[in-house]
Amino acid sequence: MSEKMQQQITQAEQDLLHTYNRFPVVFDHAEGMSLYDTDGKRYLDFFSGIGVFALGHGSTRYKNAVKAQVDKLLHTSNYFYNEPAIDAARKLKAISGMDRVFFTNSGAEAVEGALKAARKYAYLRDGVADHEIIAMEGSFHGRTMGALSVTGTKKYRDPFEPLIGGVRFAKYNDIESVKALLTDKTCAIIMETVQGEGGIHPADPAFIKEIRRICDEKDILLILDEIQCGMGRTGTMYAWQGYDVRPDIMTTAKALGCGVPVGAFLLQGKAADRSLAAGDHGTTYGGNPLACAAISEVLSIYEEEKILDHVNMIAPYLTELLDTLAEKRDDIKERRGIGLMQGLEFTHPVGDILNRALDKGLVLINAGANVLRFLPPLVIGRSEVDEMMDILKASLD
């Protein structure tokens, strides 16, 4: 590390609130699958900014669309319409099959809106406001107070209690634990279609389908969090589409903007028709022209450049190599995941592996103490998969 980079890190530690344990590197620029630090060292990016850079770094089409909108119109507020928001909402409805869109600034804000919509739906139905929500153990939905309330990791919640009430936690992929928590007050069940931060755990098909059946039977809204697992990462535009179920409310973010901070929650059917109304929810920046121009171009690129086809072509190759590695090593318990959202669970913490990989020029991250997480750009090629595996193997010992 150069003296310059060390000075930058020291300055950051003096000025920034220490809520992140950052890796000791200062990134300067990026291109394609590669990140470069301020010393000019190249790193293969197999994390894509927590799944944000689905199109890799520096897509010319994407950059030109964002630059053009910067020169045209940045902000109007939601007191007025703007063309990029209209266009982005239309395209987002088309790929999801949902009925209504609300644009936010982040995934956590999308979760906040989804929870409010579910509570409002139940309030209009019953005329009371003491409803309950079932969430999942091991889940992660965000750091804001509402999203934190349904995040199923106790250490994240405890310092900030009391959070919003009426939240109960079931075991993920255990339908009996869900049924045990159902009451007449249950208004929603929220879950990640594939748990990300909790260790890369896909929903069992029987589990998610039975959740959907229960929700239909009892007039409960199903909220599926697709913030990390959505936008093509699992080989379908949204992971729930691969299970042949449909949520009443869905959250999306991360790759939705491919770098521009943006999120959304989408509603369908009764949730769209009988929940939030004028005055119930709002945002100053959500749906602004810049963010929505990014969304619109991202969705066009996905369609025209057949991103899903590429994911379904390259993901089996990555999966095969990870499976082979897991079979050869006694310290790897299993590989889990769908598409280009993969995890290797080890019998020990993976922090040292991450540090060695970074030193060798590979950006990976964990999902819990013992799981290596793989979230490469969706346009990754076989050569980059091979390069990643070579560095990973060299970093394991």
Side chain identity at residue 395, one-letter code: S
In the predicted model, is pLDDT for residue 117 greater than 90? yes
* DSSP letters for 260-274: S--EEEEE-HHHHHS
Instruction: Record the pTM.
Output: 0.96
159 in the Ramachandran plot: left (φ > 0), alpha (ψ -120 to 50) or beta?
alpha
% of the chain with per-residue pLDDT over 70: 100
**Number of C-beta neighbours around residue 210 at 10 A:** 15
Nearest by Cα to 39 from 9, 1, 90: 1
Q: What is the DSSP letter of 5?
A: H
In the predicted model, is pLDDT for residue 36 greater than 90? yes
How far apart are alpha carbons 397 and 395 in whole angstroms? Answer: 6
Mean pLDDT, range 167-195, rounded to an integer? 98
Residues near 148 by Cβ (< 8 Å), separated by ≥ 6?
141, 142, 156, 157, 160, 163
Res. 255 pLDDT band, cuts 50 70 90: very high
Q: How far is CA 244 from CA 22, 210, 229, 329, in A?
A: 39, 12, 16, 35
In the predicted model, is pLDDT for residue 231 greater than 90? yes
> Torsions phi, psi of 204, nearest 5?
-70, 135
How far apart are alpha carbons 34 and 218 in whole angstroms? Answer: 49
Within its chain, how far is the Cα of 77 from the centroid? 26
Dihedral (CA of 113, 268, 209, 121) sign: positive
What pLDDT score was predicted for residue 65? 97
* pLDDT tens, position by position, 349-397: 999 999 999 999 999 999 999 999 999 999 999 999 999 999 999 999 8
Res. 302 pLDDT band, cuts 50 70 90: very high
Mean pLDDT, range 46-74, rounded to an integer? 97
* pLDDT tens, position by position, 68-102: 999 999 999 999 999 999 999 999 999 999 999 99
What pLDDT score was predicted for residue 198? 94
Q: What is the DSSP letter of 81?
A: -
For residue 197 the two structure tokens come to 């931060």
* pLDDT tens, position by position, 214-223: 999 999 999 9
Mean pLDDT rounded to a whole number for the chain: 97
Element (H, E) at 372: strand 371-374
How far apart are alpha carbons 181 and 166 in whole angstroms? Answer: 11
Per-residue burial over 95-109, b if 16 or more Cβ lie within 10 Å, else e, is bbebebbbbbbbbbb
What pLDDT score was predicted for residue 1? 85
What pLDDT score was predicted for residue 259? 95
Strands 34-37 and 42-45, by their bridges, are antiparallel
Residue bearing tokens 């409803």: 131
* DSSP letters for 130-147: --EEEEETT----SSHHH
For residue 144 the two structure tokens come to 């804001």
Mean pLDDT, range 150-174, rounded to an integer? 95
> Can you list the domains of the chain with their CATH numbers?
9-55+307-374+386-391 (3.90.1150.10), 61-304 (3.40.640.10)
Nearest by Cα to 380 from 365, 363, 397: 363
Strands 42-45 and 362-363, by their bridges, are parallel
Q: What is the DSSP letter of 204?
A: P
Q: How many residues does the chain have?
A: 397
What pLDDT score was predicted for residue 60? 96
What pLDDT score was predicted for residue 397? 82
Mean pLDDT, range 2-11, rounded to an integer? 92
What pLDDT score was predicted for residue 232? 98
For residues 368 and 260, is the Cβ–Cβ distance under 8 A?
A: no
User: Which residues face 278 on adjacent strands?
Assistant: none
How far apart are alpha carbons 317 and 340 in whole angstroms? Answer: 10
How far apart are alpha carbons 254 and 261 in whole angstroms? Answer: 7
How far apart are alpha carbons 33 and 75 in whole angstroms? Answer: 31
For residues 191 and 204, is the Cβ–Cβ distance under 8 A?
A: no
% of the chain with per-residue pLDDT over 90: 98
Mean pLDDT, range 262-284, rounded to an integer? 96
For residue 380 the two structure tokens come to 């990754």
Within its chain, how far is the Cα of 185 from the centroid? 29
